Structure 1
Amino acid sequence: MKQLFKLLALVLAPLVIALSAQAAEKPSEIRVANPGVGVGNRPVVGGSAWSLLNLNSALESEFKSDGVPVRWNFLRGAGPAVNETYANGLTDFSLLGDLPSIIGRAGGLKTRILASGPKSNLYIAVPADSPIQSVKDLKGKRFAVFKGTCLQLSAARILEANGLSERDTRAINMDNATTKAALATKDVDAAIGGPDLLAQRDQGIVRIIYSTKGDPRYTCNSTIIGSDDFIRKYPEITKRVVRQYVLAAKWLADQEKDLSAAYRVWSRSGVPFAAFKEDWAGESVRDRDSPLVDAYVIARYKTSIADAKRLGLIRTTFDFEPWVDRSFLDQVLREEKLEGFWKPRTLP
């Protein structure tokens, strides 16, 4: 009998090892963080190919047959809150704006840039009956800026282009929901934000005095990043996540002539169809939401790293290129026959 058990052990050992190895190739779950929430704190956002992954349950469908659940975490604290989840080992993938991702990298967070995210237009709004007419008029005014996010870096650049600095204003740190409430109650004189401010304008609450549309020097830029630990453990899973993002970006680009389908889906965030339509009007979809980490992204991030250091937002600078891992994106583009679908962008 002992000989039989020994024989069975020898026969079954390779199978046990193989099954263990197979199990190790799959995580127990995939944790995805999003920097921000929808209107009314709803766990959904719009306005990008990234948001379509959640709205269309693309990742859930991709990993359903593997028995791997996908858990989304929408964080009202935006980029700084996403960094905290990475620091505590609670996030595997996220979209993240330039400034918070740079702060995280400079602070030692082990992440990799896997693809480019969208570049987002920004707007500066004032109460509808405010006498403020231009950015130059913000001197000494209460200016709401969500600090630690890409809004802070863009706001600093916009102010500088108009002969001001953040110190010339009474800058107040507010998240997006609080900002809109403060504009409505006139507890701030001005605020910087996204297309949800267009909805407030249409309600007669605010006026828009500035827009970044047409000038990519001042837009928010973002990338898709992942935990270095997760990527090393699960490279195939990582490639499948990148694939779904690329396919979402491809679908969005294919709607270039009529983005109505995207606007309808995105409006589930609480930002109206009309606001997204105005925000995207006149934009090249392929350029605005290209996944390529191209010359444009490289130049913008190098400038952002230098600006973050100059403005005292990080203590030390670092090289951008070692942060980028194009291997998964390159594989997906090749396998999906999408090489050349997006043209590399450069700064205008």
Structure 2
Amino acid sequence: MSLSTFTRRAALAALALTFLASPTLAEERLKINIGYAAIGLDNRPYAEGTSAATARAGEYLEKEFGNDPNIKIEWFFFKGAGPAVNEAFANNQLDFAYQGDLPSLIGRANGLKTKYLLASGARKPLYLAVAKDADIKAVAELKGKKVAYQRGTNGHLAAIKILEANGLTEKDIQVINLDSAGTVAALTSQDIDAAFGDTTLINLASKGNAKVIYTTKGDDPRFGRNAGIIGREDFINQHPEITQRIVDAFVRAAQWSSDEPNRATLFELWHKSGTPVPILEDYFSNDKLAYRNSPLIDDLLVSQYEEQGVKAKEFGLIRRDVSVEGWFEPKYLKASLEKLGLQNFWQAYGANGKPLGS
């Protein structure tokens, strides 16, 4: 054997030993991309009002995988909300995401292969605010007015359902498609007459720049909005154990977010999004934390998604029928509830909006 041949072989052998001895080289690092269909004030990478927001701000997923050097958690917040999350899923840029009901159903109707793993931000109320000088006192008085909401979001579908309940359709109003920041600016300048939204509108009204005239809170729970954690089907099938740990972390965040003694601390944590604590207190007033932060895939949630699918097509938001059969995947949630001893921690609700067993 020539010296040069021996040297090359020795070098290759040394390289192989280095590769085997180094876990960072022997095993490719797995980056888990988590999307959130919202963004904080001034584009802060935080949100509020959901257990998923708690998971982010409290670093629940990062702590779950803290002893796994080959796994990295990365969060992405989308100003474009649910529609932007769908685009990211379509390009295989996300593995999991917090997303509202309408956009996730639109994604399913368009062939996105996802699974619904647990609720997060279920039964969120929607608010209607009008310009400070507007003489509008009821939903029915929106006819012919400029009304803002963000198209393609769960707030969009909830707004249409509210209009319908008050004898109106989208054709009866001038729809202005704006995100939350744009809505605040337009409502403050009174370039629009009214807007549907949530905490940003409460905050605007608290400053005297708008008036909240209606909320779904205390009204028919079917007028509210739902959201949850969606997972990319390919990732779930390839990494079931990691998926289970992801769900475990979200469930832990939901448990902590549901404990009433944590209410003040919870709002401080969500304040990382830029939303003032008093606004969050107002947003959750008269609601039990466990009611709003339940991860359960119960009959009410499933029936709401079924109805949303029907309504979305009826209102022309989806062109084809969309079925939720086989979409909900509760086995990971069930395993988490059993592992953490939380089988009876949250109240399940029936399709009629009433507690099961009552």
Provide TM-score, normalisation by structure 1: 0.91
CA distance in 1, matches of 2:239, 2:27: 11
For 1:38-117, list aligned pairs within 5 A. Answer: 38-67=40-69, 68-117=71-120
- Corresponding residue for residue 294 of structure 2: 290
Deviation at 1:47, TM superposition (A): 1.2
Counterpart check, 1:226 vs 2:231:
yes
Deviation at 1:104, TM superposition (A): 0.1
Contact 1:60 1:70 in 2 (8 A): yes
1:321 counterpart SS class: coil
CA distance in 1, matches of 2:347, 2:194: 37
1:220 counterpart SS class: coil
Counterpart check, 1:201 vs 2:221:
no
- Corresponding residue for residue 317 of structure 2: 313
- Listed one character per residue, the Cα deviations across residues 285-341 of structure 1 (whole Å, up to 9, x for unaligned) are 222211110001011011001001111111222331310111111111111111121
2:346 counterpart SS class: coil
- Listed one character per residue, the Cα deviations across residues 245-298 of structure 1 (whole Å, up to 9, x for unaligned) are 1011111122x2561111111112111111111111111222221111000101
Contact 2:256 2:262 in 1 (8 A): no
Q: State the superposition RMSD in angstroms.
A: 2.1
For 1:228-243, list aligned pairs within 5 A. Answer: 228-243=233-248
2:222 counterpart SS class: coil
CA distance in 2, matches of 1:71, 1:217: 34
Contact 1:287 1:345 in 2 (8 A): no
Contact 2:150 2:177 in 1 (8 A): yes
CA distance in 1, matches of 2:269, 2:294: 19
1:89 counterpart SS class: coil
- The amino acid that maps onto 1:54 is R
CA distance in 2, matches of 1:157, 1:31: 33
Contact 1:122 1:195 in 2 (8 A): no
CA distance in 1, matches of 2:322, 2:157: 17
2:117 counterpart SS class: strand
Gapped runs of 5+ residues in structure 1? Answer: none
CA distance in 2, matches of 1:326, 1:97: 18
More off after superposition, 97-106 vs 34-43? 34-43
- Corresponding residue for residue 37 of structure 2: 35
CA distance in 1, matches of 2:187, 2:27: 52
**1:149 aligned residue (147, 153, 157):** 153
CA distance in 1, matches of 2:188, 2:102: 28
CA distance in 1, matches of 2:345, 2:205: 37
Provide TM-score, normalisation by structure 2: 0.89
- The amino acid that maps onto 2:53 is S
Report the identity percentage: 40
Ranges of 4+ aligned residues in structure 1 off by more than 2 Å: none
Deviation at 1:122, TM superposition (A): 1.1
CA distance in 2, matches of 1:44, 1:117: 15
Contact 1:95 1:117 in 2 (8 A): yes
- Corresponding residue for residue 180 of structure 2: 176
- The amino acid that maps onto 2:227 is S
CA distance in 2, matches of 1:273, 1:262: 9
Counterpart check, 1:265 vs 2:269:
yes
Aligned length: 333
Contact 1:242 1:329 in 2 (8 A): yes
